């Protein structure tokens, strides 16, 4: 049986008798959502806020091509024995789970199915029972995250695990200064023909606040040149399709080895470079003109000059992420946009937190309007209300634009109202608008409420963390109930109490709409204000 069809059969299976209805609803509201990861602890508090299992099943089955299956995270030290049957039945629906290797993963053995796909995080100096658990279930491993392993015997066990797990697809290796161990892990991973995604991360990279994100940080532990060259040489001979490097400083020797890799017949489709400083323009040209590369992310790095995109028209890259680059308005932005506009295959462009301000939005519009860009992320910049008004006037002219993210810009009430008023005139391709972390007052809410009944193609509008009041949400619910198309609205306000959240859900149900509330342990990258090591939470309250 086909794997995707098998998983969908699970989704349509009858409600298990073991689970309480509130637990089933609480679990399966995530199955109907575009959320890949949630914490099992969120099943227990707050009670059930979903609107019914049958409606959720119908919703998720309505879009099978875009359906994303969640991962059930099992990370706490212990749960009540009475919850074990519920977790086992939940895994029957979900099909895959994430387990923290530092929290005695063997305790979860009795809730796993033979077909459960495992994602293992935080492997470092593991205890023998943990290694025994991983070895027993190694044919179920999908991804692992390996940190420093001090004991030699345990290191060899981890190497054997990485090398012999046939189901393993993605490996993240954290580098703490032990070059010999790093080489052993990399060789084992690249010898595994099934692994297609490798991430090499500097484990000693310090946390940086957003205000300092453009400063060069020189206290990283440098990866030794022999280890780097050996790694790049192994990658050339492997079947790797995705590579991510975090916190790697490039010198001249590493430049040559990396360029040799990128110019070879390597097969890489995705390359991510985070805080990899001093990547010269010649290296950047090599990335752009790689025959196989389709996704390029170069973020938080001092890498570019104005000639980086001077000959980008021949690139096959369709996803380009240049977030957290200090693009001086006159020195970098205009040449970059001029080059990006000539990339024939470009579909997704992310310019988040790059310092756009003043009239920069005009340059963005004039450069990208003739292109086929489908997703544009301009979040976290200094785009003011006057510039948003200009963008709103051009919105009906974007023929290919599907997703627009303007979150975290000081557009305020006036700019948002102009943008909402233009939504009914947008072309059918435009489907998602994100404006979270702004301030929306009465004028913007009324403009959105007036536009909702006339939106024929919009699928989602995110106005969470925008200070909406209960009366604002009530007006939006009334407008949404009259809409020709069910638009998903995320209206969460972090200042709401549990009673107010329940009140919003009750208002939605009384209008024959659905409301789902969920919290997440980790902030998605699109919402992160800074790169800190603290675990934050964020929530969604969707009405549709």
Q: Residue range 377-395: average pLDDT?
A: 87
Q: Which helix (H) or strand (E) holds 297?
A: strand 295-299
CA pair distance 532, 210, nearest whole angstrom: 9
pLDDT of residue 80: 60
- Residue 284: closest CA among 330, 237, 227, 332: 332
Q: Quick one: 175 and 65 in the same domain?
A: no
Residue 501 maps to a domain: no
What 3-state DSSP class applies to 528?
Answer: coil
Residue 494 maps to a domain: no
Residue 435 maps to a domain: no
pLDDT of residue 442: 92
In the Cβ-directed half-sphere of 145, how many Cα atoms lie within 13 Å?
13
Domains identified in the chain, total number:
2
pLDDT of residue 447: 92
Q: Quick one: 177 and 264 in the same domain?
A: yes
In the Cβ-directed half-sphere of 79, how many Cα atoms lie within 13 Å?
22
Q: Are 367 and 338 in contact (CB under 8 A)?
A: yes
Given 263, 283, 303, which residue is the final one in a domain? Answer: 303
Angle value at C-alpha 235, between 233 and 238, nearest 5 degrees: 120
90 versus 373: the higher-pLDDT residue is 373
CA pair distance 391, 365, nearest whole angstrom: 7
Residue 62 maps to a domain: yes
CA pair distance 237, 191, nearest whole angstrom: 9
For the chain, percent helix, then strand, then coil, each to nearest 5? 40, 15, 45
Residue 462 maps to a domain: no
Given 94, 125, 141, which residue is the final one in a domain? Answer: 94
Residue 489 maps to a domain: no
CA pair distance 383, 438, nearest whole angstrom: 12
**Where residue 272 sits, what CATH number does that domain have?**
3.80.10.10
Q: How confident is the model at residue 94 (pLDDT cuts 50, 70, 90)?
A: low
Q: Quick one: 190 and 281 in the same domain?
A: yes
CA pair distance 474, 139, nearest whole angstrom: 50
| Residue 516, strand partner residues | 542
Q: Quick one: 85 and 174 in the same domain?
A: no
- Write the DSSP symbol of residue 15: P
Query: What Rg, from alpha-carbon coordinates, does the chain have?
Result: 24
What 3-state DSSP class applies to 191?
Answer: helix
Q: Quick one: 89 and 179 in the same domain?
A: no
CA pair distance 271, 296, nearest whole angstrom: 5
CA-to-CA dists, residue 18 to 6, 40, 74, 81, 82, angstroms: 22, 17, 19, 13, 10
- What is the per-residue pLDDT across 260-279, written as a single tens digit (0 to 9) for each? 777 776 778 888 888 777 66
Q: Quick one: 191 and 278 in the same domain?
A: yes
Q: Quick one: 190 and 284 in the same domain?
A: yes
Residue 363 maps to a domain: no
Give me the DSSP letters along 110-175: GG--TT-EEEEEEESS--HHHHHHHHHTGGGEEEEEE----SHHHHHHHHHHHHH-TT--EEEEEE
484 versus 304: the higher-pLDDT residue is 484
To the nearest whole number, what is the mean pLDDT of the chain? 73
Residue 530 maps to a domain: no
What 3-state DSSP class applies to 470?
Answer: helix
CA pair distance 520, 360, nearest whole angstrom: 34
What 3-state DSSP class applies to 5?
Answer: helix
Q: Quick one: 185 and 298 in the same domain?
A: yes
CA pair distance 11, 14, nearest whole angstrom: 9
pLDDT of residue 173: 87
Q: Which of 41-55, 110-124, 155-169, 414-428 has the lowest mean pLDDT?
A: 41-55
Check whether 361 has a pLDDT greater than 50.
yes
Q: Using CB atoms within 10 Å of the CB of residue 495, give its burial: 0 to 12 exposed, 13 to 18 middle, 19+ buried.
A: exposed
CA pair distance 366, 369, nearest whole angstrom: 6
CA-to-CA dists, residue 97 to 47, 71, 438, angstroms: 23, 5, 34
Q: Quick one: 68 and 188 in the same domain?
A: no
Instruction: Domain of residue 191: give its range.
Output: 169-303
- What is the per-residue pLDDT across 107-141, written as a single tens digit (0 to 9) for each? 888 888 888 888 888 888 777 888 889 989 999 99
Give me the DSSP letters along 42-95: GGSSS------HHHHHHHHHT-GGG----EEEE-SS---GGGHHHHHHHHHHH-
Q: Quick one: 175 and 75 in the same domain?
A: no
pLDDT of residue 310: 66
- What is the per-residue pLDDT across 278-331, written as a single tens digit (0 to 9) for each? 666 666 677 777 778 888 888 876 655 666 776 677 788 899 898 887 776 557
Say which residue the tokens 């609205």 belong to.
489
CA pair distance 238, 135, nearest whole angstrom: 24
Given 244, 271, 303, which residue is the final one in a domain? Answer: 303
- What is the per-residue pLDDT across 462-483, written as a single tens digit (0 to 9) for each? 998 898 999 999 999 999 888 8
Q: Are 476 and 452 in contact (CB under 8 A)?
A: yes
Q: Are 258 and 285 in contact (CB under 8 A)?
A: no
- What is the per-residue pLDDT across 11-36, written as a single tens digit (0 to 9) for each? 333 333 334 444 444 444 444 343 33
Q: Are 233 and 183 in contact (CB under 8 A)?
A: no
């Amino acid at each position: 049986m086909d794997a995707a069809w098998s998983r969908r059969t699970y989704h349509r299976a009858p409600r298990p008798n073991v689970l309480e209805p509130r637990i089933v609803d609480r679990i399966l509201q995530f199955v109907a959502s575009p959320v890949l990861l949630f914490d099992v602890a969120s099943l227990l508090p707050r009670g059930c806020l979903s609107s019914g299992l049958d409606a959720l099943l119908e919703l998720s089955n309505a879009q099978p091509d875009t359906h994303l299956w969640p991962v059930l995270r099992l990370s706490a030290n212990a749960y009540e024995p009475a919850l074990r049957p519920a977790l086992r039945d939940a895994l029957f629906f979900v099909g895959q789970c994430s387990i923290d290797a530092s929290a005695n993963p063997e305790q979860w053995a009795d809730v796993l199915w033979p077909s459960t796909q495992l994602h293992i995080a935080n492997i470092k100096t593991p205890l023998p029972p943990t290694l025994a658990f991983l070895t027993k279930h190694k044919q179920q491993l999908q991804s692992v995250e390996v940190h420093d392993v001090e004991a030699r015997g345990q290191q060899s066990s981890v190497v054997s695990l990485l090398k012999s797990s046939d189901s393993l697809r993605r490996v993240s290796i954290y580098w703490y200064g032990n070059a010999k161990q790093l080489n052993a892990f990399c060789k084992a991973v690249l010898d595994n023909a099934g692994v297609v995604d490798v991430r090499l991360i500097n484990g000693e990279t310090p946390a940086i606040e957003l205000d300092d994100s453009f400063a060069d940080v020189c206290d990283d532990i440098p990866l030794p040149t022999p280890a780097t060259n050996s790694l790049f040489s192994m990658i050339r001979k492997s079947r790797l399709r995705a590579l991510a490097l975090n916190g790697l400083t490039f010198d001249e020797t590493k430049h040559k080895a990396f360029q040799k890799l990128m110019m070879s017949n390597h097969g890489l489709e995705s390359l991510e470079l985070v805080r990899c400083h001093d990547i010269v323009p010649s290296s950047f040209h090599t990335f752009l003109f790689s025959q196989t590369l389709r996704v390029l992310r170069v973020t938080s790095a001092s890498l570019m000059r104005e000639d980086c995109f001077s000959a980008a028209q021949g690139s096959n890259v369709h996803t380009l992420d240049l977030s957290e680059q200090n693009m001086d308005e006159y020195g970098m932005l205009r040449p970059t946009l001029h080059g990006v506009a000539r990339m024939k295959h470009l579909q997704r462009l992310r310019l988040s937190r790059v310092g756009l301000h003043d009239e920069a939005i005009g340059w963005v519009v004039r450069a990208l309007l003739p292109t086929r860009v489908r997703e544009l992320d301009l979040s976290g910049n200094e785009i003011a209300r006057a510039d948003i008004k200009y963008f709103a006037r051009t919105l009906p002219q974007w023929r290919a634009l599907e997703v627009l993210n303007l979150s975290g810009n000081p557009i305020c009430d006036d700019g948002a109202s102009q943008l909402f008023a233009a939504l009914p005139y947008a072309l059918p391709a435009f489907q998602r608008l994100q404006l979270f972390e702004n301030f929306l007052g009465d004028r913007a809410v009324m403009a959105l409420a007036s536009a909702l009944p006339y939106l024929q193609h919009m699928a989602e509008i995110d106005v969470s963390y925008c200070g909406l009041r209960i009366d604002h949400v009530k007006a939006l619910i009334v407008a949404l109930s009259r809409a020709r198309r069910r638009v998903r609205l995320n209206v969460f306000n972090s200042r709401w109490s549990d009673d107010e959240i329940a009140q919003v859900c009750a208002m939605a149900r009384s209008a024959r709409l659905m409301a789902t509330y969920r919290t997440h342990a980790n902030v998605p990258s699109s919402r992160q204000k800074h790169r800190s090591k603290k675990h934050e939470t964020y929530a969604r309250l969707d009405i549709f």
